[in-house]
Structure 1
Amino acid sequence: MTRKQASSTRRGGLSGVLHSKSKSSPLLSISLVLFVAILLILYACIGSGILGGRKDVISMAEDDFSCTFEVPSAIPVLKNAYGGSMKNVLHVGPESCSVVSKFLREGETEAWGVEPYDLDDADRNCKALVQKGIIRVADIKFPLPYRVKSFSHVIVSDALDYLSPKYINKTLPELARVSSDGIIIFTGYPGQPRAKIAPLSKFGRPAKMRSSSWWKQLFTETSLEENEAAVKKFEQTASKMSYKPTCQIFHLNSYH
């Protein structure tokens, strides 16, 4: 009788253990899945720079190969070179919110911007500038939405490089039309790789880096003259301020 009870106890014990394992198995699987998911989320955050990670590295790479990222660094040099004539500026190009915000923070020069591409991932500050009408999204292959000589200077970067000569011949006169004292063009050197500013579908063609002689020929064809005095003063100021541009910078007179 005792043996039967003992035997029954052992069978019950074994059955209980097996039952316990069957219960814990789904919990273990769920725990493993959650653990792997957490690891993947952490990896994604580090990779995208949310947790510090590689964000600075990515920004530095873009700074090296995008002329728009160079414009904020050139602003102090431009303001010193052009003096008080740089009263109100229009920036034309991607990341226009960043360039315009740089001008507005300093408070000495009024600034507006034209963004040639959709602002799908704009931050809160950029959206506020768009709502105020300071930044406009516009296709620069068509007439700009501004009156004649609305701005003292127009700065254009990472925009003309994506246009064919047919459209550049139309856009350059537009830049001259809305400016009164000059146009400043930031463009890459031939063979220089460029940062991926927007999907190809947004501007229709890859960037094309042109030589200095190509641009000068275009300026002649569109009746635009280089501002030699501004070029000289900019180079002198850049030397004093230890600024070394990584892009070609052209200084043009507006139409008179």
Structure 2
Amino acid sequence: MSRRPVNPARRIGDGGSIPFVGVVQSKSRSSPLISIGLVIVGAILLIGYSYSGSGGTSSDIQASSKIEGGISCTLEVQRALPILKKAYGDSMRRVLHVGPDTCSVVSKLLKEEDTEAWGVEPYELDDGDANCKSLVRKGIVRVADIKFRLPYKAKSFSLVIVSDAVDYLSPKYLNKTLPELTRVSADGVVIFAGYPGQHRAKVAELSKFGRPAKLRSSSWWIRYFVQNKLEENEAASKKFEQASTKRSYKPACQVFHLKS
């Protein structure tokens, strides 16, 4: 009598369904060793599946910078703060953050020990929460058009971090804004910019920012820095890369380090 071939175990599907082992009975007796082996394989697959879904993978970590189907470099700044502290050390004691939703970054920085923080919101504030309104009343966060001179003296801050802002500026206004950022910083400027082809977090771009984001390549930025005599902070950049490698951190945005 002919025997029909039977697949004793199903593989993991593309949809990520939990693997399992089927128990198959046939007219002929199966070897106990084969049954035990199948159970062991199934257990290993289950453990592997559970571990991969535990939130410890780099893709899960990167998902923390995604909101509403796009990437937010401001959320990326919050995620990168431990790496920035390793790279800049004492320079993280007086920090200015420039970008949309700066209240969230400033609030997180203020929770750090021995850290003072201020923020500049480049666009009109939405109906923010009570905490953000409080920061504005205290003068910690300001609403200011970064296409013009910033309301701070030279070297007012040790470090300036900018995110989700320069992508909306044309070269004409970049020529004014970036020198201003370097003017008010003492130890450097860190720029978080989007990658070309990257989907930005859904915002009312045209009404709030005046224009859609212009996502530029790293070669474009490097060429722009050189042409405008903005020097890369090589020491900080190297420390940032080393700390990123040690913590298995992969930025969802481009990160540039400039000297003051």
TM exceeds 0.5?
A: yes
- Corresponding residue for residue 90 of structure 1: 96
Residues in 1 aligned to 2:176 and 2:97: alpha-carbon distance in whole angstroms: 17
From 109, 114, 119, give the equivalent of 1:108. Answer: 114
TM-score by length of 1: 0.74
- TM-superposed CA distance for 1:107, in Å, is 2.8
Contact 2:65–2:75 (Cα < 8 Å) also in 1: no
2:118 counterpart SS class:
strand
After TM superposition, the structure 1 = structure 2 runs for residues 88-237 of structure 1, keeping only pairs within 5 Å, are 88-237=94-243
Q: Structure 1 counterpart of 2:215, which letter?
A: M
1:88-143 CA distance string (max 9 Å, x none): 01000001000000100113211000001111221000000000000000111111
Q: Closer, same or farther in 2 for the Cα pair 1:59/1:228, shift >3 Å?
A: closer
- TM-superposed CA distance for 1:60, in Å, is 4.4
- TM-superposed CA distance for 1:85, in Å, is 2.4
Identity of aligned residues (%): 71
Residues in 2 aligned to 1:76 and 1:192: alpha-carbon distance in whole angstroms: 24
* Structure 1, 190-199 or 137-146: larger mean CA deviation: 190-199
Q: Closer, same or farther in 2 for the Cα pair 1:198/1:128, shift >3 Å?
A: farther
Residues in 2 aligned to 1:58 and 1:200: alpha-carbon distance in whole angstroms: 25
Q: Closer, same or farther in 2 for the Cα pair 1:206/1:123, shift >3 Å?
A: same
Contact 1:94–1:116 (Cα < 8 Å) also in 2: yes
Contact 1:67–1:188 (Cα < 8 Å) also in 2: yes
1:244 paired to 2:246: no
Aligned residues: 198
More helix by share: 1
- TM-superposed CA distance for 1:83, in Å, is 1.2
Q: Hey, which bits of structure 1, 4+ residues long, moved more than 6 A?
A: none
- Corresponding residue for residue 18 of structure 1: none
Residues in 1 aligned to 2:66 and 2:177: alpha-carbon distance in whole angstroms: 30
CA-atom RMSD, angstroms?
1.7
Contact 1:176–1:182 (Cα < 8 Å) also in 2: yes
- Long gaps (5+) in structure 2: 1-62
- TM-superposed CA distance for 1:58, in Å, is 10
Structure ID, larger Rg: 1
Residues in 1 aligned to 2:130 and 2:107: alpha-carbon distance in whole angstroms: 12
Contact 2:64–2:75 (Cα < 8 Å) also in 1: no
Q: Closer, same or farther in 2 for the Cα pair 1:178/1:59, shift >3 Å?
A: closer
